[in-house]
Structure 1
Amino acid sequence: MKKLFVLIFMALAAFPAYAQDSAERDPSGDSPIIFDGVRTDLNEFLWIKRPLVVFADAPADPRYVEQMQFLTDRLEALDARDVVVLTDTDPGARSDLRQQFHPRGFMLILLGKDGTIYLRKPFPWDVREISRVIDKLPTRQREMRENSGGS
């Protein structure tokens, strides 16, 4: 059982790097959804994407593993809502994200396109719950109206 957990963890830990590498090689130009938050600047996404930041003190944190499984199972729902996932599992790196949000252990934070914090949770959340929060945001409501052709 322990070997199975280690194998699942290794696969999940490698997924963000694999997703980024494969997207960089993808000639269609589609951008990846999952980024390493240690090397990412939130200003890159301002007014373009909704950052969902996942913090943990280690990639083996069971809450982090569970959260990443929730997210990777429904990436298309997140992509449809202009979400990018930023992960930070290295407290020693003292990333800009950690300096800004001061997480304690596992932390899930949803930011709006304007940089406002709309959700902050100390435990994993399912994509369905995250999507409901996003769909209630004023900017998302406007996007849905514009996409449906309504005024």
Structure 2
Amino acid sequence: MIRPLRQRGLQSHGRVTIRLTLKFSWSAVGWGCAETLRHPISDSMKALLQIAFSALTLALATSGALRAAEDALPDPPVLSAEETALDDWIWQKRPVLVFADNPADPRFIEQMELIEERMDALVLRDVVVITDTDPAARTDIRRKLRPRGFMLVVLAKDGTIVIRKPAPWDVREISRSIDKLPLRQQEIRDRRDVLRREAAAQ
């Protein structure tokens, strides 16, 4: 008989505790509401909130414009070294050159697959892809860069060599090497400024 009485006592105590907690919580809410009513938001705080909201809206609009611009970009051209010259692209594009002694070279195949998977990233960086898999053709591009077997070469818009790699490289790494260039950094800043102005005008 003693054990049931103790259990009932604990249950009763638990109910009292719950009631007190609820009363305290509702009192705290009521006090908070009353304090809010007694101290309305100041005009300066309203102005700050409006500025923050406008900045957030502009940032979202700019982000959406960036994504839309990227989706609208065409695929970068993939050309043979026999049909183009490096001088054609000075200050126009960044040539990414893929050399091999044979189009069946597994490294050449892998590199082209990596490029095709991320064409959008290359378009965004003004890239033109040029391939040369016939040493016997002795193209001007091959004579200038003198590859040995497989070679990946990235050029800046002024024609200077950014990287030379004897093995396939992921487009992410190619993009990073391009993004470090001062001209590319300026292009990024200019593009963001244009998109911000367009978003603000809408």
CA shift for structure 1 position 99: 0.5
Structure with more helix by fraction: 2
* Alignment map for 1:116-127 (pairs within 5 Å): 116-127=160-171
Indicate the residue corresponding to 2:131 in structure 1. Answer: 87
Q: Does 1:48 align with 2:96?
A: no
Identity of aligned residues (%): 57
Q: Normalising by structure 1, what TM-score?
A: 0.77
Q: Does 1:101 align with 2:113?
A: no
Asked whether the 8 Å contact 1:39–1:95 carries over to 2, the reply is no
CA shift for structure 1 position 48: 0.7
Asked whether the 8 Å contact 2:75–2:120 carries over to 1, the reply is no
CA shift for structure 1 position 32: 4.7
Indicate the residue corresponding to 1:129 in structure 2. Answer: 173
Asked whether the 8 Å contact 2:90–2:158 carries over to 1, the reply is yes
Count of residue pairs the alignment pairs up: 121
Asked whether the 8 Å contact 2:81–2:131 carries over to 1, the reply is yes
> Secondary structure of 1:149's match?
helix
Q: Does 1:144 align with 2:188?
A: yes
Rounded Cα–Cα distance in structure 2 between residues aligned with 1:32 and 1:140:
17
C-alpha distance after superposition, 1:94-135 (max 9, x if no partner) = 000110011000000000000000100000000000000111
| Structure 1 runs not aligned, ≥5 long | 1-29
- Stretches (4+) displaced over 6 A: none
| Structure 2 runs not aligned, ≥5 long | 1-73, 195-202
Q: Does 1:37 align with 2:81?
A: yes
Rounded Cα–Cα distance in structure 2 between residues aligned with 1:32 and 1:122:
23
Structure with more strand by fraction: 1
Rounded Cα–Cα distance in structure 2 between residues aligned with 1:124 and 1:59:
14
Indicate the residue corresponding to 1:112 in structure 2. Answer: 156
Which gives a bigger RCO, structure 1 or 2 (Cα 8 Å, sep 6+)? 1
